Amino acid sequence: MDEQRAWWKEAVVYQIYPKSFADSDGDGLGDLQGVIDRLDYVASLGVDVIWLNPVYESPQHDNGYDISDYRAIHEAYGTMEDWEELLEEVHARDMKLIMDLVVNHTSTDHEWFQRSRRDEDGYREYYIWREGEEPPNNWTSGFGGSAWASDDEAGAQYLHLFDETQADLNWDSEAVREDVYEMMNWWLEQGIDGFRMDVINMVSKPEGLPDGDPDNDWVGIEQFTNGPDAVEYLSEMAEATYDDYDAMTVGECVNVDPETASDYVSAEGPMDMLFHFEHMSVDHDGQWLSPSEWDLTDLKAVVSKWQTDLDGWNSLYLTNHDQPRIVSRFGDDGEYRRESAKLLGTLLFTLSGTPYVYQGQELGMTNYPWSSLDELDDLQSIGKVEAAIESGEIDGFEDVEQAVRDKSRDNARTPMQWDDSDHAGFTDGEPWLPVNPNYEDINVAAAEADPDSVLHYYRDLVALRGDHEVLVYGAYNLLLPDHESVWAYRMEAEDDAVLVALNVDDTETTVTLDGADRTGALLCSNYDPPSDTGPALTLRPYEARVYQLEEA
Ligand code: GLC
């Protein structure tokens, strides 16, 4: 068993996307008081940490990932006093709060950028500027189109790896790094418990900004991720800031495998854990708009590789504010919605690492039936579709309707479904994004009242994990790697072992699991307990079972 214990290894994190969580003042946008109103609900899940998506001052082109003032709260979300109240209320419930740290880029409204474009007081070097008419290289933005924009005032072009209102900071500037660290320390002094660090392995760009491989969906990705000084800068950051606190850190890292990830999260690395994307890529090959069929064997292989090969601590997530709803993606959001949502939850809570639950996941919320581009808000979805229309790749939205339904980030961002009243109890006003039409059936109030709901099952999973250390620190051992519908593994510690068997399919399947002696207790299942014992295991559609094994 892992000898290095830490509170954040044993924690369960709940992610709140404030714009869509709860609206307290009827303007159709969620806010901090809305979050405070719902904290008892969050605490009732048994989670330990809340990760709050960005609530800072921002023009909101990318829902707060475009920050114009790091030390102020965006007006629609409330005030600094509201935020202080939130922190106090979170702590009063024995939970912790981690904040989103977005320092690869700022909004072009940020004072630093304003000064930079005017070449004032040494601020030019804060961003990445190049002279000339043509883009300096072929890099594209993650939201489509060139990664370069011309600025008339500066008479130069600046790099933006996301929207053109999100200018990349120049981390090679010591002044930038110092200002960022000072801001981070200011937040740590407010009493926060850590950071989720946005696209953090993109901060170091290679000298000369060389062209990227044009065949990549995101051109330049191999250049601007894991750059030459990424680990050094982040280590410097850790030392200058959170290393002095009992804080947890999780960095969002694009384009990492267990080997490259270890540089960031091994014992010497600058962060506690990271979010990688490898398991989020099994149903498309980089081409977001042309999804492909996915195979369970691929998903198993990726997750298993991270369980066994990473030198460091894993973070476990199946969805977040940038991903589709997991039950629609890897489960069945029709007939077996409930069973498959529970099965995916079982997976999340029985692997080694820190599990992250995204708001609504605990209800089995589903993707939204988008039918036109006008309904969408997400820059990425709109940008990608518009770029594809412009380049002649597609004629219009109709050509990619299914891809958008399957993949748009807005699937995760539709309002949280609290009850069956108007707008699912999210707001008294007009919600900023439509509420999923299934809210009358899928909502917190209905789930609370139903003992068989996904919600109650999630609570049981949180408790199960708390009771069985082997699920947190144990070693993962995959059984039947090539089975196309059953995912079975043992979690093993010196004196304890647990068997997890998941039938990721809508047909009944029988398997024989060698070395998994099921004489121990059934710890958890999403069906009524089965009566079978013996070496053969018959799993009903989307059935999940967790057994205590007698001996490892
Ligand atoms: C991250 C965020 C995403 C945002 C992007 C740019 O991927 O999770 O929501 O759009 O970075 O900041």
Neighbouring-strand partners of residue 316: 355
Catalytic residues: 198, 252
Q: Which residues have CB under 8 Å from 11's CB, separation 6+?
A: 47, 48, 49, 96, 248, 354
Residue 526 exposure: Cα atoms within 13 Å on the Cβ side: 30
pTM: 0.97
* pLDDT of 551 over the 80 cut: no
> Angle 99-105-106 (CA atoms, 0-180°, nearest 5)?
80
What is the DSSP track for 529-545?
PP---SSEEEE-TT-EE
Q: Give the phi and the psi of residue 197 in degrees, each rounded to 5.
A: -105, 110
Distance 357 CA to ligand 1 centre (A): 18
Distance 198 CA to ligand 1 centre (A): 6
Distance 508 CA to ligand 1 centre (A): 39
Q: State residue 290's pLDDT score.
A: 73
pLDDT band at 387 (very low <50, low <70, confident <90, very high): confident
| Mutation to probe ligand 1, out of 162, 319, 378, 413 (largest number of atoms < 8 A from CB) | 162
Distance 199 CA to ligand 1 centre (A): 7
Q: Is the CB of 67 under 6 A from ligand 1?
A: no
Nearest CA to ligand 1 atom 5: 65
Which ranges in 192-255 belong to alpha helices (H)?
221-224, 230-240
> Angle 206-209-215 (CA atoms, 0-180°, nearest 5)?
105
pLDDT band at 530 (very low <50, low <70, confident <90, very high): confident
Handedness of CA 357, 100, 415, 61 (dihedral sign): negative
pLDDT tens readout for residues 203-233 = 999 999 999 999 998 999 999 999 999 999 9
pLDDT tens readout for residues 266-324 = 999 999 999 999 999 999 866 667 777 899 999 999 999 999 999 999 999 999 999 99
What is the residue-averaged pLDDT of the chain?
95
Give me the amino acid identity at 352.
S
Give me the amino acid identity at 540.
R
Q: Is the CB of 65 under 6 A from ligand 1?
A: yes
Q: State residue 181's pLDDT score.
A: 98
By the 8 A CB rule, do 345 and 458 touch?
Answer: yes
3-state class of 107 per DSSP? strand
pLDDT band at 552 (very low <50, low <70, confident <90, very high): very low
By the 8 A CB rule, do 409 and 380 touch?
Answer: yes
| Mutation to probe ligand 1, out of 195, 322, 356 (largest number of atoms < 8 A from CB) | 322
- Cα–Cα distance, 21 to 229 (Å, whole number): 37
Q: Is the CB of 102 under 6 A from ligand 1?
A: yes
* pLDDT of 171 over the 50 cut: yes
- Locate 337 and state its tokens: 């919605």
By the 8 A CB rule, do 56 and 22 touch?
Answer: no
Neighbouring-strand partners of residue 97: 50
pLDDT tens readout for residues 2-16 = 458 999 999 999 999
Q: Is the CB of 162 under 6 A from ligand 1?
A: yes
Question: Which range, of 162-171, 398-407, 427-436, 481-490, averages the lowest pLDDT?
Answer: 398-407
